[in-house]
Amino acid sequence: MEALQTAIDKAAAPEEGWSVESSDITEFNACSSLSWVVLKTESGSDSAPEQVAFFHFGVYDSTAYDEYFAFPTSVERIDDATVTVTWTYPEAIDRNGEKRTESMSTYTWSDVTFSIDREGELPPYADGDEWNNNGPAPSN
């Protein structure tokens, strides 16, 4: 699928790279104002990096955030132009990674600015926080 390959080529990737076979393309829709694919690595573990790549009428636009994140990411459609992205990750105090918490952002395609607007929270490490507690880390 050409759209998936475009996202793989443009999105910042972990060392092992994004996998065409492992990435989730089930919600890609070239006829939708806002659709997405979830980029994944071949490892497929719960702590493997993931990234959400957005498309506007089938054309790659951007990712949910500049960095990719470890731990599960889920995306839910609200309407044709709006989705929510939820990142699930261990709390900083949980060294075993068993206790999970979430951050959620809403992404909306704007016909006024011709771009995607984000509202909501990002995981704490998305803002460059120093968090190295057996939890996810930024890609850089």
Q: What is the pLDDT of residues 22-65, one digit of tens each?
A: 999 999 999 999 999 999 999 867 678 899 999 999 999 999 98
Per-residue model confidence (pLDDT) at position 89: 77
Number of other CB atoms surrounding residue 124 within 10 Å? 17
Mean pLDDT to the nearest integer, 89-117: 81
pLDDT value at 126 more than 70: no
Residues 74-93 have a mean pLDDT of: 88
The per-residue pLDDT for 64 is 94
Measured CA to CA in angstroms, residue 24 lies from 20, 38, 50 at distances of 9, 5, 10
Tell me how far apart the alpha carbons of residues 42 and 123 are, in angstroms, rounded to a whole number: 23
The pTM (predicted TM-score) of the whole model is 0.83
